Amino acid sequence: MNEASLIGLMLGAAQLLLGAAMALALVRLLRGPRAQDRVLALDTLYVNAMLLVIVFGIVAGTRMFFEAALVVGALGFVSTAAAAKFLLRGEVIE
């Protein structure tokens, strides 16, 4: 096996593993049991999706994917922080 095919195999395995990580986070997102578990699973899903986008960029060999990964990371942070703040205040007000 030459070096290029070995590298392709390793990058494909990395993409499969990151997809499996997203699937596991999705399992927790669907099973719950409570809202904070779902928000935590959504945050993990976002980070793993961002890493997958970075690996896509390495495989494609373009730097366009870097901006996409940055946007995914920023959206993940904002949405998780907003959901956590809602859980914190919504429950206290009730």
Residues of this chain that bind other proteins (CB under 8 A): 3-4, 6-7, 10-11, 13-15, 17-18, 20-22, 24-25, 27-28, 34-37, 39-41, 43-44, 47-48, 50-51, 54-55, 57-58, 61, 63, 66, 69-70, 73-74, 77, 80-81, 84-85, 87-88, 91-92, 94
Question: Could you tell me the two tokens for 2?
Answer: 């030459």
Find out whether 79 and 46 touch, Cβ atoms under 8 Å.
yes
- DSSP H or E segment with residue 6: helix 3-31
- Calculate the alpha carbon distances from 83 to 1, 69, 77 in Å: 48, 21, 10
In whole angstroms, how close is the CB of 24 to other proteins at the nearest point?
4
- What is the CA angle 16-83-29, rounded to 5? 35
Q: How far is the CB of 66 from other proteins (least distance, A)?
A: 5
Distance in Å, CB of 40 to other proteins, minimum? 6
